Amino acid sequence: MSDLTLTPRALYEEVAEQLRQRIFRRELEPGNWIDELKIAEEFGISRTPLREALKVLAAEGLVTMKVRRGAYVTEMSEKDLRDVYHLLSLLESDAAGVVARQASAAQLQSLQELHTRLEQAVHDRERFFALNEQFHMLVLDLADNRWRSQVVSDLRKVMKLNRHNSLFKQGRMEDSLREHRTILAAITAHDAGAATQAMQRHFAQGLEAAT
């Protein structure tokens, strides 16, 4: 029997998650410098784990670090947004095609159940936003390529820097739902080509609404 003891989550990882959520909630705005002394004092920590946390967020693209100046929350230009959507479209449309080809009945059921919850959340924007992301990540999980899933996860974090998210535009949630129905129908029919194209159209429409 192993006497290996699991260590608690590293302090800097906890700090990184706290800062990540503050960025997503817009408590730390894009372009704003991060006051290290203030945050370290607020968290009751030294600046060492805070700086390690900032390195994690910099690797994810959420903050930008400048030598001898500190770190600020990354700002998203229109080109940045288009570049992120382009990559997400390529990666997630490919994943949709894979799932359409190989998904089991149980996996299709899990997608259908999540989509049903998404339909029910159409009048709750924040819940809809969360379930929408869960649906996309479930497609990635079912496609079973951990490298693709990791890249998409990081890109989606950066995409959240764009507060004018397409889902918050008037009528966009209803349009997104229709696009999801088309994606799900293609996957359920095991039509890889249609699933790939439907996901590409979904991202194209999302980008149009976001810019």
In this structure, is residue 38 part of a structural domain?
A: yes
For the cut 70, the answer to whether the pLDDT of residue 154 exceeds it is yes
- The pLDDT assigned to 168 comes to 60
199 and 98 belong to one structural domain: yes
SS3 172: helix
Tell me which of 121 and 7 has the higher pLDDT: 121
**CATH, residue 53:** 1.10.10.10
Same domain, 17 and 107: no
Residues 145 and 191 in one domain: yes
The average confidence (pLDDT) of the chain is 90
| Tens digit of each residue's pLDDT (9 = 90 or more) over 85-105 | 999 999 999 999 999 999 999
Q: Are residues 202 and 104 in the same domain?
A: yes
Task: Say what the pLDDT of residue 164 is.
Answer: 54
Task: For residue 163, name the pLDDT band (cuts at 50, 70, 90).
Answer: low
Structurally, the chain folds into a number of domains equal to 2
98 plus 63 within the same structural domain: no
- Residues facing 33 on adjacent strands: 72
Q: CATH code at 199?
A: 1.20.120.530
Q: Is residue 4 part of a domain?
A: no
Judge whether 68 lies within some domain.
yes
Mind giving me the DSSP string for 48-70? HHHHHHHHHHHHHTSEEEETTTE
Q: Are residues 58 and 107 in the same domain?
A: no
Tokens standing for 165? 């998210």
SS3 7: coil
pLDDT band of residue 74 (cuts 50, 70, 90) is very high
Task: Specify the pLDDT at position 4.
Answer: 42
Do residues 68 and 92 share a domain? no
More confident residue, 98 or 25: 98
Same domain, 60 and 83: no
Q: Is the pTM of this model over 0.85?
A: no
Confirm whether 5 is domain-assigned.
Answer: no
Residue with tokens 């819940």: 127
pLDDT tens by residue, 174-185 = 899 999 999 999
Domain range holding 106? 78-210
